[in-house]
């Protein structure tokens, strides 16, 4: 078996530190996330930590983008490419719920970031909204959704993101998100946003 290169080992250590930080912050919160706890969890010396991340606040700034990208990647991988419209949106929500079940600390990382890493929190929220808007714009172009005035689109984006968040928040701490809750979200999008698609 080929030995990893120095660059590959460095990347593995960096990812191990961020994975450990996500585990610690997701369980105990940012305030209780010390470099000592992170390095112990990662199996890395405290001295080595500073070869990768300059200080504790820098770690906090990296954390949400790291777990947020992992969420985006997992959702994208889980959705069959042939799905469109309401089916695709419900599949996206189901994949999001499954990610939360596997990563029960995600919401704590997300919402505490508003205080401990506000710039990355704003960027994450804006990036999520932009991605959702692009998805709706594609559905509009394909005539899969009811006509939406451009000025209404952002409000609908945030309404649906809010619905997702509040449904999922009911099942925090590693609980399984019920399929009936996902079906309820599906009813919302099928009978509202995507009702034009259902009639065709």
Statement to judge: residues 182 and 83 lie in one domain = yes
The number of domains in the chain is: 2
| Within-domain flag for 105 | yes
Statement to judge: residues 91 and 181 lie in one domain = yes
Per the structure, the complete domain to which residue 19 belongs is given by 1-53
What does the alpha-carbon distance between residue 105 and residue 110 come to, in Å, rounded to a whole number?
Answer: 9
Statement to judge: residues 28 and 107 lie in one domain = no
| Within-domain flag for 168 | yes
Statement to judge: residues 99 and 176 lie in one domain = yes
CA separation, residue 38 to residues 79, 103, 107 (Å)? 33, 17, 19
Statement to judge: residues 80 and 170 lie in one domain = yes
CATH code where residue 28 lies = 1.10.10.60
Would you give the DSSP letter of residue 83? -
Tell me the per-residue pLDDT of 80-101, one tens digit each, with 9 for 90 and over. Answer: 888 888 888 899 999 999 999 8
Question: What is the Cα 23 distance to its own chain's centre?
Answer: 15
Statement to judge: residues 5 and 88 lie in one domain = no
Statement to judge: residues 158 and 74 lie in one domain = yes
CATH code where residue 102 lies = 1.10.357.10
Dihedral over Cα of 7, 10, 11, 12: its sign:
positive
Statement to judge: residues 32 and 90 lie in one domain = no
What does the alpha-carbon distance between residue 94 and residue 164 come to, in Å, rounded to a whole number?
Answer: 10
| Within-domain flag for 58 | no
Tell me the per-residue pLDDT of 129-163, one tens digit each, with 9 for 90 and over. Answer: 999 898 888 877 777 767 777 778 889 899 989 99
Statement to judge: residues 24 and 115 lie in one domain = no
* Cα end-to-end span (Å), the chain: 56
Among 13, 29, 53, residue at a domain's last position: 53
pLDDT in tens, the chain (200 residues): 788 898 999 999 999 999 999 999 999 999 999 999 999 999 999 999 999 999 999 999 999 999 999 999 999 999 988 888 888 889 999 999 999 989 989 999 999 999 999 999 999 999 999 998 988 888 777 777 677 777 788 898 999 899 988 888 877 666 778 888 898 998 888 876 665 544 44
Angle of CA points 167, 170, 175, to nearest 5°: 115
Statement to judge: residues 114 and 167 lie in one domain = yes
Other Cβ atoms less than 10 A from the Cβ of 72: the count is 15
| Within-domain flag for 12 | yes
Among 32, 53, 74, residue at a domain's last position: 53
| Within-domain flag for 179 | yes
Statement to judge: residues 157 and 111 lie in one domain = yes
Statement to judge: residues 33 and 89 lie in one domain = no
SS3 176: coil
């Amino acid at each position: 078996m080929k030995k990893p290169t120095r660059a590959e080992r460095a990347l593995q250590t960096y990812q191990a530190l961020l994975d450990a930080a996500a585990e610690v912050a997701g369980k105990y919160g940012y305030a209780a996330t010390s470099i000592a706890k992170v390095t112990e969890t990662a199996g890395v010396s405290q001295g080595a930590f500073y070869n990768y991340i300059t200080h504790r606040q820098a770690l906090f700034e990296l954390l949400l983008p790291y777990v947020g990208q992992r969420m985006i990647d997992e959702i994208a991988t889980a959705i069959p490419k042939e799905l469109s419209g309401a089916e695709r949106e419900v599949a996206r929500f189901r994949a999001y719920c499954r990610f939360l079940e596997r990563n029960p600390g995600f919401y704590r990382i997300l919402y505490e970031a508003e205080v401990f890493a506000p710039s990355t929190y704003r960027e994450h929220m804006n990036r999520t909204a932009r991605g959702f808007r692009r998805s709706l714009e594609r559905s509009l172009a394909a005539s899969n959704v009811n006509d939406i005035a451009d000025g209404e689109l952002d409000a609908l984006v945030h309404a649906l993101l809010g619905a997702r968040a509040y449904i999922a928040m009911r099942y925090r701490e590693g609980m399984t998100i019920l399929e009936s809750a996902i079906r309820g979200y599906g009813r919302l999008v099928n009978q509202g946003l995507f009702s034009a698609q259902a009639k065709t």
